[in-house]
Structure 1
Amino acid sequence: MNPREHTSSIVVSALSSFFGVSLIQATGLITDVVGPMGDGAIQLALVTVAGVFILLAMYTGAVVTANTFGTIVAGRVRTIALMRLVGASTRQLRASIGREGLVVGAVGSLIGAVLALVTTNGAARYFVSTGDLPDIAYRLIDPLVILPVVAVVVTTWSASLVGSRKVLSVTPIQATASAGEPDFSENRRRTGRNVIALLLIASGVVLLVVGVVVGLVSPLGMFIAFFGGVGSFTGIILGAHVVMPLVLKAVGALFGRGAAGRLAALNALRYPARSTRATIGLVIGVTLVMTFTVAAASYQQMILDDTGLDADQLAEANQVLGVTFGVLSALIGFSAVIAAVGLVNNLSLGVLQRTRELGLLRALGFTSRQVRRMIVAESAQMVIASVGLGLGLGVLYGWAGAQSLLGSIFGSELVAPSVPWQVVVGIVGGAAVLAVVASLAPSRRATSVSPVRALQTL
């Protein structure tokens, strides 16, 4: 097991565990404060809400981890094939990768849990010293923290097995040929998967429309729209190997006709599986954030536009909704952070696995500056495509959710989506920083190896 390959997966596991343990500890501390005034129902409600956000973070983490292991396995195709030649079975190879996933999950989860316990207990002591919290006996460790710790380990292990499915397709004869991934034309010929993805997207869109229409007469339309959103988004994820390269190709046109920009754009179609693995996690994270914030802003706007509320009620509702949605948006935003870590790692692994290709470009006359520019363009292309698609999907799903739930209550008419532009600006600004950060290590690595040594790499 190469620790360098698994750094990102360990970080993702640690972030997921840190998030889960922190939320559970925070709910325990809140329960300690309100315990004398409440009962077990308060803790149950808090744990239930925390569980929803923990599941969202773990879902994003699982996608990122599976994609990371997929990238790692793709880079080991020749090694795996050689092992098959000397007698290793597919079951043995998958078990080996599964053990890697188990170790990664355990190490990351424990690191995250320890950091979360130190952080939450330290925060509690600080707020007691400032008088913001009462000076009572707080629990050091909530017994429920074991749940997110174990869940992260199991999720990471399962994701590693999903990501290692490519082992099943590696035959011993591939040891005598160059290792490669399917190109865009091969992905388009995956008829069964593509048909299922198309059906899910089409049926999901239909359900979204029906949910919005039903929502004009009944709040039950939200349930129809919910399944429409889940179905269509699942279809997009399932067909991401076709969808994302097309989006990346369109974005690539923004980088001009220079050699570096053109090569960066073409890599999206030459390596669609790798591009998809690097970007789909960020698409999920941004979509989740935008869906919630647009839905929240639309709910808030509809309530504030209700003429049945007086000025004091409007002010109170606005304040409560603003604080609540701000806190929950920050919690959901944690999923986008996890996805960003995955994008940085997948781009780094991709450059590491293309050492010979980069060496050939240098031998053909590419300068270090051109290679660096190509890597930066690839990073920017992936970030722009992911964020752009996520913003569009998030606005659609958020508006459909708000409209289908409140359309019948407030006028039974369609209203325009309320887009929180400050959140959009924050996401775009964060994306710009991510594009630069994601390209730093890969571009430095790509230009640090001499062409001769790079061409000698197997």
Structure 2
Amino acid sequence: MWRTTYRNLLAHKLRLALSGLAIVLGVAFVAGTLIFTDTLSKTFNDLFRSTAADVNVTRAAAFDQGLTGTGTGGTATYVPAELVEEIAAVDGVAAVEGNVQAEGVYILDRDGEVLDTGGAPGLGISWDTEESLSPTTLVDGRAATAPDEIMIDTNSAEETGFAVGDTVTVLTPGPRIEAELVGTFRFGDEGGLAGASLTAFDAATAQELLTAPGQFTGIGVAAEDGVGDDELAERVAAVVGSDYDVKTATEQADSLASDFSEALQFINVFLLVFAGVALFVGTFIILNTFSMLVAQRTQELALLRALGASRSQVTRSVLAEALVLGVIGSTIGIAAGYGVAAGLRALFGSFGLTLDGSLVFAGDTVLWCYVVGVLVTLVAAYVPARRAARTPPIAAMRDDVAQVHRGLRRRTVIGIVLVAAGVAALISGTLADDGGTGASFVGLGALALILGTTALSPVLARPFLRLVGALLPRLWGTTGRLAQENAIRNPRRTAATASALMIGLALVSAFSVIGASTNKSIDALIAGSIRAEFVVSSAVGAPFSPDVADEIAAVDDVDTVMPMRWGGAQLDGETAFLTAVDPAGLDRSIELTWVSGSADDLGDGLVVDEPTADSRGWAVGDTVEMLSIDGRERELVVGGIYETNQVMGSTVISLDTLAGAGGVALDRFLYVDLAEGASPADVRPGLEDVLAAYPVVDLKDQSEFQDEQKGQVDQLLLLINAMLVLSVVIAALGIVNTLAMSVIERTREIGLLRAVGLGRGQLRRMIRLEAVVISLYGAVLGIVLGTLFGVALSRALADQGISELAVPVPRMLVFLLVAAVIGVLAAVGPARRAARLQVLDAIARA
């Protein structure tokens, strides 16, 4: 039997290669995802290890905020400089030094443009004079020692072309400064900063610009020879007390790595979902391929049974072919995954996530890829293998090799149950109060609907192909009729082929609906929420200096400038993301629909949106306990409750309240209101003159702000669709495979058609039309399902900001056209092969 298996593999190598390609693509994406995320983890783990001294002292956080820092969360904690002297007196301390690190420091290149980090932060630090504590190494020049001197990392120096002695302009959270570049340095062993830029000042200047005089963000401590890190950490902790967090280098690196690993899970799952889709689609192709191979080898398998082969031997023979296919496909897929990982690194690098060093190729990656690839192939081949084992020996005596299929009753019942369950889940998702719960229901419903529709697909194929296929005879006569009948002849095969395309287009259509709805919601949100004539912000969401607001406020015909900042704190024991604004400009700049109360007392209180008030049980007049990250407590009174507004977020406090909670004075947005009667066109040049000195931010009117926000949605949608294209490519391979095998199966029929006068051109047209109608069937199912998924998910996320519903009908029509083109292209090879068949040879073949 093993010799027979080997012979069958060689005999069908071309057909199996097309199925194997589906495994290659699916496994390649799995491998690429695992390689990329391992590389991502290694990059940041190395970064975390580079920043840690033997012992590190920071202000103890009142609650866990993960990786949230001064730039993301908008809150910071400081350590007083006098603590350095206390730690220096601890027995076993070899060296101690305070350090400063903060976001919002940007280097301008020679053209006055911000050094492009692609979204990675611009960091400012104090230069460590103690080499044993410093994660940096001086490469050229000397250390900065005065306010008009700076140092930059070697990556930034190389990109900008600056050298020691040049004058460099730097934007800081405070003033814009010009300083002499006195030195360049390498961070860590390899200089990797994951895309960020790094500017170093002397300690006093760093405190003045980035924290406050006499305040550090942390203290690094080096141990004397013979003193262990754990022992020294205990001694330091006993001196500084419980107000400070003392960690060894290993503890700090592990803590940061753990937090980062949790954040990384989203990217990992996000990418693996697309790999799963590709493998799921590939399963249909493998199932179809082996089903057709078994059908074509009915006489051969029956002869083996007649010669004494048992059912288990026949089953093992077919599964052995699948095993070889899975191993070879997985091996090639792993190699291709390295290229996928390189592409993902380049893609995320364009967004600012630069990964330094070589890609990480771990043994776990190889193991999982083989497990996934081989398992998917064996599962897909199992049903055809069982069918092969049931081939009766008497079939060896028949000329007819057609496989007799069971009825579709059981499949229909299962499909109806799954579709009903899917529809119920979608409806439950749209009615759920919580967006997360609703999205989960929609996801389960989408899976059930896809499986149910796949089960019902052979039943639905006949009426669809008769209805749509009826146009073929009218347009192409006999050729069209033959194409229609060929597609209808085996609804199982047609359905399996179309299902692969259905899944890909269902997901593409769903995300198209979500994207269109999100963009329409953005238009409605900005038009209905923002009253200000102009918005100032960074395109990558980076924080910027409050000096920008002060200078804009001095421009003629500017009435008010309302800054918006972000922060974090605990409110009644639960961590909350806070939006901070100037109460005086809130009503002028932003339109809020009040359910109760107002923003009149925002200076000493807070206002929240209706869903937050309902979930927390708050009402106007209630007192809320606020706990800042550094442990400060304060009572706030709920002054108002407003309808959901994505511009403001769920919880709003004043700028003074945020500052009292440790908020960093860095703005995220500025809303600029003009004096009554002032023309935006007349005021804009003055605003642009001010912002010319701050290239990190842009000036936008409402229309431009809408376009910027929608551009971010479109960019994400483009990324998602680009990944989903992989499943569409695999589906196209399935159509090619099905048509190629169909040509082989119908060799005698094709010969007879040619003998009675069907021309080669007509034959090619017949196969092309068959491919087109199969593609259209899959496309229609996919678009209908995708539209349902998109609408349901949009409604489930209505409280998350997708308030409007939009179905991009023109884009759906383009998908139909693309499906038809896929059908035409998929039929090229099989059609040419059929046309080249010799008439007499074709008729003579059994």
The TM-score with structure 2 as length reference comes to: 0.49
Shift of 1:409: 6.2
Give the structure 1 partner of residue 227 of structure 2.
none
CA distance in 2, matches of 1:234, 1:123: 30
Unaligned segments of structure 2, at least 5 residues: 1-8, 49-255, 530-644, 648-670, 672-701
Deviations 1:43-90 (A, max 9, x none): 444323222222222111122211221122121112112211211122
- Correspondent of 2:760 among 364, 368, 378: 368
427-436 or 191-200, which deviates more: 427-436
- Correspondent of 1:447 among 818, 835, 842: 835
TM-aligned CA distance change 1:139 to 1:448, over 3 Å:
closer
TM-aligned CA distance change 1:296 to 1:34, over 3 Å:
farther
TM-aligned CA distance change 1:362 to 1:226, over 3 Å:
same
Aligned identity (percent) is 29
TM-aligned CA distance change 1:193 to 1:124, over 3 Å:
closer
Pairs within 5 Å for 1:178-197: 178-182=400-404, 189-197=407-415
Give the structure 1 partner of residue 727 of structure 2.
335
Give the structure 1 partner of residue 327 of structure 2.
106
- Correspondent of 2:358 among 138, 155, 162: 138
TM-aligned CA distance change 1:127 to 1:340, over 3 Å:
closer
CA distance in 2, matches of 1:408, 1:115: 38
Deviations 1:159-192 (A, max 9, x none): 122333321442122222212145xxx76x4322
- Correspondent of 2:30 among 20, 26, 32: 20
Give the structure 1 partner of residue 454 of structure 2.
237
Contact 1:289 1:329 in 2 (8 A): yes
Shift of 1:228: 2.9
Contact 2:509 2:782 in 1 (8 A): yes
Contact 2:517 2:802 in 1 (8 A): no
SS at match of 1:156: helix
- Correspondent of 2:257 among 32, 39, 45: 39
Contact 2:461 2:494 in 1 (8 A): yes
Shift of 1:358: 0.8
2:401 aligned partner, one-letter code: A
1:445 aligned partner, one-letter code: R
TM-aligned CA distance change 1:134 to 1:444, over 3 Å:
closer
TM-aligned CA distance change 1:373 to 1:325, over 3 Å:
closer
CA distance in 2, matches of 1:126, 1:395: 28
Give the structure 2 partner of residue 200 of structure 1.
418
1:261 aligned partner, one-letter code: G
141-150 or 372-381, which deviates more: 141-150
**Are 2:792 and 1:400 equivalent residues in the alignment?**
yes
Give the structure 1 partner of residue 618 of structure 2.
none
**Are 2:612 and 1:390 equivalent residues in the alignment?**
no
- Correspondent of 2:464 among 227, 241, 247: 247
Give the structure 1 partner of residue 819 of structure 2.
431
Deviations 1:194-248 (A, max 9, x none): 1221232234324433433x14x54333333333332232211112221223322
SS at match of 1:263: helix
Q: How many residues align?
A: 446
1:244 aligned partner, one-letter code: A
Give the structure 1 partner of residue 289 of structure 2.
68
Larger Rg: 2
Shift of 1:31: 3.5
More strand by share: 2
CA distance in 1, matches of 2:417, 2:451: 11
More helix by share: 1
TM-aligned CA distance change 1:357 to 1:148, over 3 Å:
same
CA distance in 1, matches of 2:768, 2:452: 30
- Correspondent of 2:16 among 6, 9, 18: 6
CA distance in 2, matches of 1:122, 1:271: 40
Unaligned segments of structure 1, at least 5 residues: none
TM-aligned CA distance change 1:19 to 1:203, over 3 Å:
closer
Shift of 1:97: 0.9
CA distance in 1, matches of 2:802, 2:334: 45
Contact 1:245 1:275 in 2 (8 A): no
1:249 aligned partner, one-letter code: R
SS at match of 1:39: helix
Question: Which structure has the higher relative contact order (CA within 8 Å, separation 6+)?
Answer: 1
386-395 or 227-236, which deviates more: 227-236
CA distance in 2, matches of 1:24, 1:282: 26
Shift of 1:350: 0.9
Pairs within 5 Å for 1:292-307: 292-306=511-525, 307=529
Shift of 1:119: 5.9
CA distance in 1, matches of 2:427, 2:347: 50
**Are 2:496 and 1:277 equivalent residues in the alignment?**
yes
Pairs within 5 Å for 1:90-101: 90-101=311-322
CA distance in 1, matches of 2:503, 2:343: 32
CA distance in 2, matches of 1:249, 1:75: 26
Give the structure 2 partner of residue 419 of structure 1.
808
TM-aligned CA distance change 1:126 to 1:364, over 3 Å:
closer
202-211 or 447-456, which deviates more: 202-211
CA distance in 2, matches of 1:282, 1:114: 26
TM-aligned CA distance change 1:122 to 1:392, over 3 Å:
closer
Deviations 1:377-425 (A, max 9, x none): 11111112211221121111111111123268666xxx54332845763
**Are 2:580 and 1:358 equivalent residues in the alignment?**
no
Contact 2:454 2:495 in 1 (8 A): no
CA distance in 2, matches of 1:254, 1:295: 33
CA distance in 2, matches of 1:410, 1:452: 64
Give the structure 2 partner of residue 48 of structure 1.
269
Deviations 1:295-335 (A, max 9, x none): 34324433543333285975664343332222122222211
Contact 1:70 1:163 in 2 (8 A): yes
Contact 1:21 1:116 in 2 (8 A): yes
Shift of 1:261: 0.4
CA distance in 2, matches of 1:9, 1:334: 14
Shift of 1:263: 1.2
1:202 aligned partner, one-letter code: A
TM-aligned CA distance change 1:202 to 1:107, over 3 Å:
same
